[in-house]
Amino acid sequence: MIVGLGPGPAEWMTPEAGAAIGAASDIVGYAPYLDRLALRADQRAHASDNRAELNRARLALKLAAEGRAVAVVSGGDPGVFAMAAAVFEAIEEDPRWLDLDIAVSPGVTAMQAAAARLGAPLGHDFCAISLSDNLKPWAIVERRLRAACEGDFVIALYNPASRARPTRIVEAFDLLRRLKTQATPVAFARAVGRADESLILTTLGEADPGLADMATLIVVGSSETRFIARDGARVWMVTPRAYGARL
């Protein structure tokens, strides 16, 4: 079972995910996700490093082929920039792995948690782009950012920055600033649902991309996205369902 734990808090984890963890003999995942789980003495945790997705997938498939009941865990949704793709990338390496009984259990992903806190920024057509160029050429990221602007999508940016590539997020913002209005609403949503949650609402022109780290999900609005001001409370960020007057 490839399981999504959601963004962090137990109230955002599906009952199916909880049941899958409970039914597993072996739980395979990135160490901080395993730390969230209260495992029993008879369950075995296999923690690995963040970059090691493909080896983690192989370990899970090997254990499952040995007859173990394996749960591979991801934060968020395992289908969105997470372990489901890694498991299926590895699955053809051993013909026995293709015969395994595999299921994916969906979960709430970071952009949904961020959107919930912000109001309704994903209320209309949107796209999700990972800014990591570990596994794809940066030219593809640029091509997708350009296309996202051309299509006037709301853009959710995953993996915006890391110590290994601190300047990519700056390049991405430079590109977005050339193609979109400076007043476009932008949100930096960090660690939503966790104790160190923080939200920064700004505009494309004013945004400081240096604020983003690997725990940050960035939402860049479409031409229709706007802020709704409130007295004494954070503004709402909303993309209306109607694509309207400005056409």
SS3 assignment, position 163: coil
Least distance in angstroms from the C-beta of 71 to its own copies: 14
Q: CB of residue 227 vs its own copies: minimum separation in angstroms?
A: 11
Give least dist CB 98 to its own copies, A. Answer: 5
The CA angle 230-236-237, to the nearest 5 degrees, is 145
Cβ at position 41, least distance to its own copies in Å: 25
Q: Which is nearer to its own copies, 15 or 67 (CB)?
A: 15
Which one, 60 or 87, has the nearer CB to its own copies?
A: 87
Cα–Cα distance between 116 and 238 in angstroms, integer?
Answer: 10
Beta strands in the chain (DSSP E): 2-4, 26-30, 44-48, 70-74, 104-105, 119-120, 126-130, 154-158, 185-190, 198-203, 216-220, 226-230, 233-238
- What minimum distance in Å lies between the beta carbon of 242 and its own copies? 4
Separation CA 19–CA 3 (nearest Å):
10
- Shortest spacing between CB 58 and its own copies, in angstroms: 14
Strands 233-238 and 2-4: unpaired
Give the whole-angstrom CA distance, residue 43 versus residue 209.
42
Query: Measured from the CB atom, is 41 or 232 closer to its own copies?
Result: 232
* Residue 231, phi then psi, degrees to nearest 5: -70, 125
Q: How far apart are the first and last CA of the chain?
A: 46
Min CB(149)–its own copies separation in Å = 8
Q: Which of 44/146 has CB closer to its own copies? A: 146
Give the list of residues 6+ apart from residue 101 with CB closer than 8 angstroms, or none. Answer: none
| Closer of 75 and 106 to its own copies (Cβ) | 106
Separation between Cα atoms, residue 155 and residue 159, nearest integer Å: 13
Residue of 165, 173, 163, 210 lying closest to 190 (CA atoms): 210
